[in-house]
Amino acid sequence: TFTVTVTNGAVDQTRWAEGFPACGGQKQSPIDIQRQNVRHNPDLLEPVLTGYAAQKGNFVMNNNGYTVLINLPPSMVITRGLPGQYTAIQMHLHWGGMQMESSGAEHTLDGIRYIAELHLVHYNSDKYSSFQEAKDKPDGLAVLAFFFVNGHFENTYYRDFINNLAKVKYAGQSMNISSLDLRSMLPENLNHFFRYQGSLTVPPCYESVLWTVFDTPITLSHNQIKKLETTLMNNNTMWDYYRMVQPLNDRVVESSFV
Ligand code: SG7
Ligand code: ZN
């Protein structure tokens, strides 16, 4: 039997389909988004993120050995801009760092790989009663993706998140966060995005994800990016956790803007 080791860099990726057939499908993610080939769709509405503003709660942040996740509460809902209501389940990051300041985003834009990529994972709560039920359905999931770029100033909305990384340095570690202002961690302008039908970027690679990849990036300071890349780099696995771009095949990438 074939067991997959989801690991950093390109290791094993070419064999994922042996254990998880969907990974060899025709609608896989991530992809290279080529601006020249996207089709403007004026009917695409800006997603409305309800419940993402600063709130108190008990958010669990967890190191799963590959990435850092924060579980999101069901009070965070995308109420417009997708085919139905989608409820948040978790957020996580993909970053680089194999070589200092190498890039680790999953999607590429005109062949360029950004420094890192944030994923907000949601499930279609109009049609399904849980993430588990939705995760392998063609209309089950929606992920919002944001790129990170290097800037001159500290992004203070990421201060807690980045400082907390040290507390989940090792695989399996968790911590509780008592407040989260997710909306402020995102770009102000959510108008400019790309949209396409794809998959989870790790096995089992279900082709269940409606992707929204925002053109406006999130800015972090050089120092913040360095901390993100180095804090968890203790076991020599937590870097370059991204999948190679997959063929577009007969899909069309739409854009909300010209
Ligand atoms: C990361 O990316 C984790 C996974 C996630 C996967 O490995 O965030 O989630 C958990 C709970 O381990 O898998 C099913 C799922 O959400 C793929 O998500 S992604 O396509 O957005 N990168
Ligand atoms: Zn991801």
Please work out whether the CB of residue 155 comes within 6 Å of at least one atom of ligand 1: no
Q: What is the DSSP letter of 235?
A: S
- Neighbouring C-alpha atoms within 13 Å toward the C-beta of 147: 24
Chain center to CA of 70: 12
Residue that is written with structure tokens 């690679």 in the block? 205
Cα(42) to ligand 1 centroid in Å equals 30
Residue, of 97 and 139, whose pLDDT is higher: 139
pLDDT at 2: 42
Taking residues 145-173, what's their average pLDDT? 94
Q: Which residue's CA is minimally distant from atom 7 of ligand 1?
A: 202
Helix (H, G, I), strand (E, B) or coil at 128: coil
Q: Which residue's CA is minimally distant from atom 12 of ligand 1?
A: 64
pLDDT at 196: 98
Q: What is the pLDDT of residues 93-125, one digit of tens each?
A: 998 876 656 788 999 999 999 999 999 999 999
pLDDT at 5: 45
Task: Assess whether pLDDT exceeds 50 at residue 4.
Answer: no
pTM above 0.90, yes or no: yes
Please work out whether the CB of residue 69 comes within 6 Å of at least one atom of ligand 1: yes
Give CA separation, 209 vs 11, 137, 173, in Å.
24, 9, 28
CA–CA distance, 201 with 213 (Å, rounded to integer):
14
Task: Assess whether pLDDT exceeds 60 at residue 236.
Answer: no
Please work out whether the CB of residue 199 comes within 6 Å of at least one atom of ligand 1: no
Q: What is the pLDDT of residues 204-222, one digit of tens each?
A: 999 999 999 999 999 999 9
> Which of 90-104, 130-144, 196-210, 238-252 bottoms out in mean pLDDT, i.e. has the lowest?
90-104
* Angle in degrees, CA 133, 180, 79, rounded to 5: 50
Cα(40) to ligand 2 centroid in Å equals 25
Residue, of 18 and 74, whose pLDDT is higher: 74
Taking residues 223-251, what's their average pLDDT? 82
Please work out whether the CB of residue 230 comes within 6 Å of at least one atom of ligand 1: no
Mutate to test the pocket of ligand 1, among 121, 132, 205, 210 (most ligand atoms within 8 A of CB): 121
Q: Percentage of residues in the chain with pLDDT exceeding 90?
A: 78
* 12 contacts 5 by C-beta, under 8 angstroms: yes
Cα dihedral 185, 186, 189, 195, rounded to 10, equals: 180
pLDDT at 98: 60
Please work out whether the CB of residue 128 comes within 6 Å of at least one atom of ligand 1: no
Please work out whether the CB of residue 202 comes within 6 Å of at least one atom of ligand 1: yes
Task: Assess whether pLDDT exceeds 50 at residue 165.
Answer: yes
Please work out whether the CB of residue 67 comes within 6 Å of at least one atom of ligand 1: yes
Q: What is the pLDDT of residues 7-56, one digit of tens each?
A: 444 447 888 998 899 999 999 999 999 999 999 999 999 999 999 999 99
ipTM here: 0.96
Neighbour tally for 199: CB within 10 Å: 25
pLDDT at 43: 97
Cis ω before 203 (30° cut-off from 0): no
Q: Which atom of ligand 1 is nearest to the CA of 119?
A: 21
Q: What is the pLDDT of residues 193-205, one digit of tens each?
A: 999 999 999 999 9
Task: Assess whether pLDDT exceeds 50 at residue 150.
Answer: yes
